[in-house]
A and B are shown apart, each in its own frame.
Chain A
Amino acid sequence: MMTPQAQTITINPVTRIEGHAKITIHLDNVGNVTDTRFHVVEFRGFEKFCEGRFFAEMPQITARICGICPVSHMLASAKACDAILGVEIPRPAKLLRELLHMGQLTQSHALSFFHLSAPDLLLGYDADPALRNVIGLIRQLPDVAKRGIRLRKFGQEVIKLTGGRKIHADFPVPGGVNKALTTAERDEMLTGLPEALEHARFALDLLKKYQWDHLQEVEEFARFDSSFMGLVQADGSLEHYDGALRFCDAKGNLLEDQVNPADYLDVIAEATEAWSYLKFPFIKRLGYPQGMYRVGPLARLNVCDQISTPQADDELQEWRSLSIPPRHSSFYYHWARLIEIVYALERTQQILDDPEICSTDIMVGGNPTNHEAVGVIEAPRGTLFHHYWVDEHGRVEKVNLIVATGHNNLAMNHAVQAVAEKYVKVNTLQEGMLNRVEAAIRCYDPCLSCSTHAIGQMPIRVELVDAAGRVLQTLARE
């Protein structure tokens, strides 16, 4: 029989150069989980990379951080650049940026749910990993998979028609946008909206059925207490493009409200850990690490009072009727994500119906007038901060980016720990553990795409290593 001793389990979950992201699960000398660490080692280098560039280049440069959410980076960056110019962009330009954002929200959430998470839910966490993926979904539930494709495609079309390209559209620029919407483009989007909404509602029905069939699992899945942060409108409604910051604690009490996003450093601070290059933001008044908070769809629905579009608000009220908010199970990220797709589609309709949407009043000019500026939006995965300092010529001196995966850094550690405590037994990796660790992380849909992806790496590996460095057991997915 093996003598229990201190061990470390390491999970390398993504194919990145030299393991740019991994999970370690630390055990004590009798095999109990004592700590978990989700390591992400990106972004800081990118901030350095931006120094010395002209500020107006920043939307295009930072869009290349990520192949999945370039729109989010472009918009946050463009807002920061507006602030450097000290201008208020024309209302039609703001509407067009928000329209682009709604397309991004739709396509990103559709990818997360239909392609990454639906196989877990519809095929089962314990299904063979070789089958528990989108290909298995296509084989077993082709209608679900096709709806996912169609919904994502609609979101991409909104981005393409609004910005001129599906990816890296050079559309949001300091002072506005560089392309007006034609009536033909508007009408094409309007034509596709009803079908997209039908797919979103179909997904919501699927998820609600799963929730009722697996009530206890859903409520307890990677559950832990935390605070939450998100943008809200002045009346407390859900907001993604503009608005002010709101924080609530684990019981739903307001900690801070209507915080000007430019003053975010008055409320949150960033801690560092030797084992990760990614900082750990926390709520100052609660201290570190007690000030852990979550962002993203779950956080947004937990902090807002209502949603300004009717169908999404009905869904929010139903979501809240099941128990006293805030919701803490990580599973509820999925549900919140689908409610947000409904919101994004309804908001798309509202924007397209606006009489000013095809206006050509889309840009104001100006020169750098402010040394420091902050741009904030709610990206699909959570609150995204772009904070720039520039010299008198507009040259970037310093950059601070806080991305959703950073905000959720501590929370993902807790989510993995909640799963690990249940599935890691003394000296043995339970078979269900890897599947559920993956599923817990997928709830947060962390964006690790921002690194390189060069071929030749192993997708996922879990190693159980004793204190002497011996590998006791390995679970790998090639």
Chain B
Amino acid sequence: MPPAACSKRWRGSEMKTLVIGFGNRSRNDDGVGWFVVEQLENLALPDVELLTAHQLEVDHAEVISRFDVVIFVDAATSETPQPVTRTVVKPNYQSHAVAHYLAPGDLLQLSESFFGRAPQGILFGIRGFDFNFGTALSPETERAARDVVRQIHSLLPTLAHEAGSGGLTANA
């Protein structure tokens, strides 16, 4: 799926960072990625572009190929033990049989294969509890989402160093 919304806050720094919040906003907690992006937008962070999407699609490969770091924010199933997981994503294409969506690793691999470069990737998974039809976040998921906003905010200044030194790190 192509960009659904993009707020440009790039101020000329050499480190280009993109945050993609994705999910189905009509399925309650599945839309938590959108919530995080909206909160980040309110912070008016410099040097970060923001994007929301219903799901990751092949068109996003071209978009992310223009960045150094991409932070994905998605819902995680209620079986996930922690409220928030932070994972380093590597290019890794998986077969999805008949589905039309892509996972973050798929997208990085597509970017690398099609455009010769893939950004470094971080995935924040936020545990969801209610995936029924609706547009509200459950209180637990909203709390976790606000924590992710804080984590991303504090992470951004270190990205240039971490990415430049050869690798991002995963933390819960």
Contacts and interface: CB of A to CB of B under 8 A. Distances in A.
A133 B113 CA distance: 12
A123 to B, nearest CB: 12
Contacts of A166: 2-3, 59
Contact of A116 (B55, B98, B103): B98
A448 interface: yes
B146 interface: no
Interface string A36-49: 00000000011011
A454 B74 contact: yes
Interface string B130-150: 011110000000000000000
Given A135-B109, A438-B98, A168 B93 contact: no
B87 to A, nearest CB: 9
Interface residues of B, number: 45
Given A68-B100, A447-B100, A448-B98, A139 B125 contact: no
A218 to B, nearest CB: 20
Contacts of B77: 17, 454-457
A67 B95 contact: no
Could you say which interface size class chain A belongs to?
35 or more
B2 A446 contact: no
A331 B103 CA distance: 28
A153 B58 CA distance: 10
A13 B97 CA distance: 6
A371 B50 CA distance: 42
B123 interface: yes
B10 to A, nearest CB: 20
B99 A132 contact: no
Given A133-B95, A134-B110, A167-B3, A49 B134 contact: yes
Contacts of A452: 23-24, 27, 30, 75, 131
A214 interface: no
B154 interface: no
Given A17-B131, A67-B1, A167-B4, A477 B55 contact: no
Contacts of B27: 451-452
Interface string A1-28: 0000000000001110100000000000
Contacts of A133: 93, 95
Interface string A214-257: 00000000000000000000000000000000000000000000
B11 interface: no
Interface string B44-64: 000000000111011100100
Contacts of A70: 54
Given A67-B53, A167-B3, A454 B75 contact: yes
A436 to B, nearest CB: 12
Interface string B20-39: 00011111011000000000
A438 B25 CA distance: 29
| Chain B interface, DSSP helix/strand/loop, else mixed | loop
Contacts of A45: 132-133
A454 B131 contact: yes
A152 B59 contact: yes
Interface in A402-454: 438, 441-442, 445-454
Contacts of B24: 64, 67, 450-453
Nearest to B99: A14
B133 A453 contact: no
Contacts of B128: 454
B58 A152 contact: yes
B70 to A, nearest CB: 15
Nearest to A440: B98
A445 B97 CA distance: 11
A41 to B, nearest CB: 12
B58 A149 contact: yes
Given A156-B2, A454-B131, A456-B79, A438 B58 contact: no
B73 to A, nearest CB: 11
B98 A442 contact: yes
B94 interface: yes
Nearest to B128: A454
17 contacts: A14-B96, A15-B96, A49-B134, A65-B26, A67-B53, A138-B113, A138-B114, A152-B59, A167-B4, A167-B54, A438-B98, A452-B30, A452-B75, A453-B24, A454-B75, A455-B77, A455-B103
Given A45-B133, A111-B58, A166-B3, 15 more contacts: A13-B99, A17-B131, A46-B133, A64-B54, A67-B1, A67-B53, A134-B110, A152-B58, A446-B98, A448-B100, A452-B75, A453-B74, A455-B103, A456-B79, A460-B95
Closest CB pairs A-B (n = 4): A67-B54, A166-B2, A49-B133, A452-B30
